[in-house]
Amino acid sequence: MMSILVGLIILLSVIVLVQILRVNELVSEVKDQDANEITDKDNNIQGILTFAVFGVLFLGFVLWQFKYWGVHILPPASSLHGATIDTLMNFTMGVILFVFFLTQPILAWFAYKYRGRKNTVAYFYPHNNKLEVIWTVVPTLVLTPLIIYGLNVWNDITGVDTTNSKIIELYAKQFNWTARYAGDDNTLGQANYKLVEGLNVLGVDMDDDSAQDDIVTREVHLVVNEPVLLKMRSQDVIHSAFLPHFRVQMNCVPGMTTQFGFTPTQTTAEMKEQEGEDFEFVLLCNKICGAAHYNMKMKFIVETQEEYNAWMASQETLKNTLTLN
């Protein structure tokens, strides 16, 4: 019934449209005009519209979005390297917005200014080597600092010294995260996917000495201003560990270990003060991994050393949970 109705409506609109077009063409015929010829009037209207829409409406919309939707942009980074990314981002954003607000108005203005008129002739201007050299060289000059600056930040982030970082493993599977602290020896015990069984959800090799003090948790607590090194593994498909507030992201790939080292600089409590009571640092999955990809999360909590110690004291080591049970 519904589909018949919809079909009827579509049919009717098509018929109406056809009729409108026919009438339109007939009127032109009577006036001895070609209905589809582009007239000076058309050029005028479209030229003005182009200026209004490209130059005013669109650019206004962009500004409007920055004003009203800019608040949704992530708060300043809560990590050491994140702050450098933010500065680089602001710098790059400044450059591209400058170019954007330079070129788009020119486009809109030219379209309006040079809208066609019968009896005018355009200016024959096939090339000008000097101009072309200028607009090859200028973008190059603008890009050079961007590239150098960007690569510097990249090298600092990827080359960060992790010798004193606390090691934590993030283990991804469909559709949740598990964390493992390396324990007092700060060395993760070996793991093998064939050992995953029952309580040993990470497949840790309990014959390995360094595995004994490892601690498996369902949320991650970090000490503010203390460096950590996250090591990622995956059990099934590719996932991606994404911590937007820390500007951290790294894929979790089955069959290999990836890592990302960083230092949190703000506690959850401080962030709550700044962003509201509901604020939490979260870990998201950012690589399509299946039906519940949108729902793969884990809480990250940044706190003081004392709070951290208190929490840690309540956690069980693997030796206790796996071998003694």
Please give the residues from 230 up to 249 whose contact with Cu ion meets the rule CB under 5 A. 239
Residues 117 to 146 in contact with another protein, rule: CB under 8 A: 117, 120-128, 131-132, 135-136, 139-140, 143, 146
Q: Which of 103, 304 has the CB closer to another protein?
A: 103
Q: Which does 304 bind (CB under 5 to 8 A by kind): Cu ion, another protein, none?
A: none
Measured distance CA(131)–CA(125) in Å, rounded: 12
In this structure, what token pair is assigned to residue 315? 């956690």
* Phi then psi dihedrals of residue 276, to 5 deg: 115, 160
In the complex with Cu ion, the residue whose CB is nearer, 108 or 285, is: 285
For residue 247, give the nearest of 74, 82, 88 by alpha carbon.
82
User: Which of 206, 250 has the CB closer to another protein?
Assistant: 250
Query: What SS3 state is found at 45?
Result: helix
User: Other C-beta atoms within 10 Å of 196: how many?
Assistant: 15
Q: Which of 228, 220, 301 is nearest to 263 (CA)?
A: 228
Based on the shown chain and the rule CB under 5 A, indicate whether residue 285 belongs to the binding site for Cu ion: yes
Residues facing 20 on adjacent strands = none
In what order do the strands lie in the sheet containing 248-252? 220-223, 297-303, 281-285, 239-243, 248-252
Q: Is 292 in the site for another protein (CB under 8 A)?
A: yes
Give, as ranges, the residues between 194 and 233 that touch Cu ion (CB under 5 A). Answer: none
Closer by beta carbon to another protein, 240 or else 263: 240
* Segment interacting with another protein, rule: CB under 8 A, options 161-169, 231-239, 263-271, 317-325: 231-239
Q: Which residues contact 96 (CB under 8 A, 6 or more apart)?
A: none
Each residue 302-321 as x (binds another protein by CB under 8 A) or -, in order, gives: --------------------
Least distance (Å) from another protein to the CB of residue 138? 8
Q: Which region, judged by CB under 8 A, interacts with another protein, from 70-78, 176-184, 221-229, 310-318?
A: 70-78
| Residue type, position 114, single letter | Y
* The one among 216, 289, 318, 322 contacting Cu ion by CB under 5 A: 289
Window contacting Cu ion (CB under 5 A); options: 10-18, 49-57, 97-105, 283-291:
283-291
Nearer Cβ to Cu ion (145/290): 290
CA distances for 218 relative to 137, 169, 191, 215, angstroms:
54, 12, 18, 10
Site for another protein contains 43 (CB under 8 A): yes
Least Å distance between CB 148 and Cu ion? 22
Using the 8-state DSSP alphabet, how is residue 315 labeled?
A: P
The dihedral of CA 184, 186, 192, 198: what is its sign?
positive
SS3 assignment for 139-176: HHHHHHHHHHHHHHHHHHHHCCCCCCCEEEEEEEECCE
Q: How many residues bind another protein (CB under 8 A)?
A: 121
Name the minimum Å distance from CB 230 to Cu ion: 17
* Residues 6 or more apart in contact with residue 57 via CB below 8 angstroms: none
Distance, in Å, from the CA atom of 282 to the CA atom of 272, rounded to the nearest integer, reads 13
Window 179-208: residues binding another protein (CB under 8 A): 192-194, 196
Least distance in Å: CB of 194 to another protein? 6
Question: Is residue 235 near another protein by the rule CB under 8 A?
Answer: yes
Does residue 23 interact with another protein by CB under 8 A? no
Residue choice 170, 179, 284, 322 for contact with another protein (CB under 8 A) = 284
Q: Any idea what DSSP says for residue 316? A: P
Contact positions vs Cu ion (CB under 5 A):
239, 285, 289, 293
